[in-house]
Amino acid sequence: MITPKFKKFNIEAYKPGKSKIKKLKKIIKLSANESALGMSPKATKILSNKKFNLERYPDGKSQNLRAEISKKFDCNRDKIICGAGSDEVIQMICQLFLKPKDEVVVPQYSFLMYRIYANIVGAKVVFAKEVNFKISSNEILKKINKNTKIVFIANPNNPTGTYLTKNEILDLRKKLNKNILLVVDDAYAEYMKNKDYKSGLDLFKNKDNVFVLRTFSKIFGLASLRVGWGYGSKKIITALNVIKPPFNVGHLGQLAATESLKDKKFIERSIKHNLYYAKKIKSYLEQHNIFSNAISANFLFLDFEKCKYTAKYFYERLKKKGIIVRSTEDGYHIKNKLRLTIGSKSENLAFMNAVKKILS
Ligand X SMILES: Cc1ncc(COP(=O)(O)O)c(C=O)c1O
**In which element (H, E) is residue 91 found?**
helix 85-97
From residue 150 to residue 169, what is the string marking binding to ligand X with x (rule CB under 6 A)?
----x---x-----------
For residue 129, the 8-state DSSP code is P
**Quick one: which of 215, 248, 254, 328 contacts ligand X (CB under 6 A)?**
215
Judging by DSSP bridges, how do beta strands 210-215 and 228-231 pair with one another? antiparallel
Confirm if 166 and 203 have CB atoms less than 8 A apart. yes
From residue 107 to residue 146, what is the string marking binding to ligand X with x (rule CB under 6 A)?
----x-----------------------------------
**Quick one: which of 85, 161, 200, 230 contacts ligand X (CB under 6 A)?**
85
What are the beta bridge partners of residue 124?
A: 103
Sorted by sequence, the CB contacts under 8 Å of residue 19 that are 6+ apart come out as 27, 29, 31, 32, 324
**Quick one: which of 103, 130, 185, 190 contacts ligand X (CB under 6 A)?**
185
Q: CB of 45: closest distance to ligand X in angstroms?
A: 23
**Quick one: which of 228, 230, 232, 253 contacts ligand X (CB under 6 A)?**
228
Contact between 87 and ligand X per CB under 6 A: yes
Cα distance between residue 214 and residue 295, in whole Å: 20
The number of residues that bind ligand X (CB under 6 A) is: 13
Judging by DSSP bridges, how do beta strands 291-292 and 337-341 pair with one another? unpaired
Q: Of the listed pieces 83-91, 136-144, 302-310, 315-323, which binds ligand X according to CB under 6 A?
A: 83-91
From residue 9 to residue 38, what is the string marking binding to ligand X with x (rule CB under 6 A)?
------------------------x-----
Cα distance between residue 39 and residue 217, in whole Å: 10
Q: Which residue lies nearer to ligand X by CB, 75 or 227?
A: 227
Q: CB of 144: closest distance to ligand X in angstroms?
A: 22
Confirm if 98 and 216 have CB atoms less than 8 A apart. no
Q: How far lies 79's CA from each of 76, 210, 236, in Å?
A: 5, 12, 8
Backbone φ, ψ for residue 199 (5° rounding): -70, 160
Q: Of the listed pieces 65-73, 82-90, 115-123, 347-355, which binds ligand X according to CB under 6 A?
A: 82-90
Q: Which residue lies nearer to ligand X by CB, 90 or 355?
A: 90
Q: CB of 190: closest distance to ligand X in angstroms?
A: 13
For residue 8, the 8-state DSSP code is -
**Among residues 108, 145, 111, 151, which one has the least CA distance to residue 130?**
108
**Quick one: which of 126, 182, 187, 267 contacts ligand X (CB under 6 A)?**
187
Give 182-204 as a DSSP string: EEEE-TTGGG---TT---HHHHH
**Interacting residues toward ligand X by CB under 6 A:** 33, 85-87, 111, 154, 158, 185, 187, 215, 217, 223, 228
